[in-house]
Amino acid sequence: MMNNHFFKYVHLLHEKYTKKPEYNLFRVLRSESDEVRLHSRFLADMLNPNGSHSHHNTFLKLFLQHFKDILNIEQGQSITVDIEYKNIDILIRSRDTAIVIENKIYASDQKKQLSNYYQKMKDEGYKNIKLIYLTRTGYEPSEQSTADLPKKVKEDIILASYENHIYEWIARCTEVSARDAPLREACIQYLDIISKITNKIESKDHMDELKTLLRTDNNLARVPDLLSAYQEVLTDIQVDIWNKIADGVKREFGELHQDTVTMQENPRGLINRYVENRKNSKYLAVSAKLKDYQDTYIYVEQNHRIYFGLYCENGSDSHEYIDIMKKTGKFTNSYQWGSMPIGIFAEPQINFKNLTSEDLSYLLLDSNRQNYADFIINILKEITETLSQHP
Per-residue DSSP letters for 67-85? TTTT----TTS--EEEEEE
In a shared domain, residues 308 and 379:
yes
Average pLDDT over residues 337-358: 87
Last residue of a domain, one of 184, 217, 250: 217
Last residue of a domain, one of 132, 163, 198: 198
Distance CA 240, CA 286 (A): 14
Domains: count for the chain: 3
Q: Which of 57-71, 94-108, 278-292 has the lowest average pLDDT?
A: 278-292
Cis peptide upstream of residue 348 (ω within 30 degrees of 0): yes
In a shared domain, residues 289 and 212:
no
pLDDT at 247 over 70: yes
Which residue segment(s) compose the domain that 322 sits in?
A: 225-389
Q: Is the pLDDT higher at 113 or at 219? A: 113
Overall pTM > 0.75: no
In a shared domain, residues 175 and 72:
yes
In a shared domain, residues 152 and 270:
no
In a shared domain, residues 170 and 184:
yes
pLDDT, residue 40, reads 92
Q: Which of 133-142, 199-208, 215-224, 327-336 has the lowest average pLDDT?
A: 199-208
In a shared domain, residues 177 and 312:
no
All residues at 6 or more sequence positions from 69 whose CB lies less than 8 Å from its CB, including other chains: none
In a shared domain, residues 75 and 208:
no
Please, are residues 161 and 134 in contact by the beta-carbon 8 Å criterion?
yes
In a shared domain, residues 167 and 211:
no
pLDDT at 1 over 80: no
Distance CA 234, CA 83 (A): 37
pLDDT, residue 352, reads 87
In a shared domain, residues 49 and 97:
yes
Banded model confidence at residue 33, pLDDT cuts 50, 70, 90: low
In a shared domain, residues 177 and 149:
yes
In a shared domain, residues 186 and 324:
no
Last residue of a domain, one of 154, 187, 217: 217
Please, are residues 97 and 70 in contact by the beta-carbon 8 Å criterion?
no
In a shared domain, residues 146 and 184:
yes
Distance CA 271, CA 278 (A): 10
pLDDT, residue 32, reads 72
